[in-house]
Amino acid sequence: MTVLSARKMVCDKLSDEFDTLLKPAEAAKRGIKDQINLVKSKLSLMEFSPVGEINAAATGLENSVKDIIPEANAPDISEITDFIASCNFLNTNLMFKNPIALLKGGVASAIAQAGGFVDDLTDLLPEFDAGQLLGNLLNKFSGAGLGLPGALGITGIMQAADKIINCIAGRCGGDFTARVTDMTDTLDELYTDLNLVSDPTDANWGEFDIDKIYDDVALSTQERLQMTTVVESVQNSQTAVTDAISDTVNATKSAARSVEGLF
């Protein structure tokens, strides 16, 4: 194999990888565009609630989520292990007799409960309706909402695709000029359709551009602040679950090492 043929082989592989990489983003594009249009419609028609009501709802959501998740302390760990010991279904099940497996298995249920708390607020405050839609969009960009291997989200996909273009443009020569143009056009269209920050020098490169959404519907500074509070509250209701269970799992592992035969 000559140097030129080796280079072409790598360039062809990168070109194919670009197409493979973008398939999930292309597949998700229509649904995401629909969600973007829906949230813009809701925001443009919204009569914003008093700030005090928004802050109280955010605090109430945080407290409700805390009530459904264990803490990484001895009493909560003891409660879980005691429950397993007293329940024949759990203590005879190969998976669930281990409290760590039981904790990890409860993540989806706890997140669903947290989502139910948000659902309750959407009936009371319109900001939480729009905030929930924005939260769902953010999950797709982070990887949580696409179900991809390794939780690679759209942001990661777009950044990787941009790097592939740079590699091909820099190393593959004139035979790939048309291909580079085609890939660049495809990526630029996705950046626009998916409402992404397209500038690689921007700290938020590849991320969902919430500010542009707010610009497009002409939200005031105060309205933006209220939506920021709501979106953060919705997102935190999920991360609080995963973070708390992860901490409890680590504490349980530590307890198992220090107390031989705990499980």
Q: Which pLDDT score, from 0 to 100, does residue 127 have?
A: 94
pLDDT digits (tens, 9 = 90+) for 110-143: 777 778 888 888 889 999 999 999 988 887 777 6
pLDDT digits (tens, 9 = 90+) for 239-262: 777 777 777 677 766 655 544 444
Neighbours of 254 (CB within 10 A): 12
pLDDT higher than threshold 70 for residue 205: yes
pLDDT higher than threshold 60 for residue 38: yes
pLDDT higher than threshold 80 for residue 80: no
Q: What is the pTM of this model?
A: 0.75
pLDDT higher than threshold 60 for residue 13: yes
Instruction: Tell me the C-alpha distance between 244 and 144, whole Å.
Output: 17
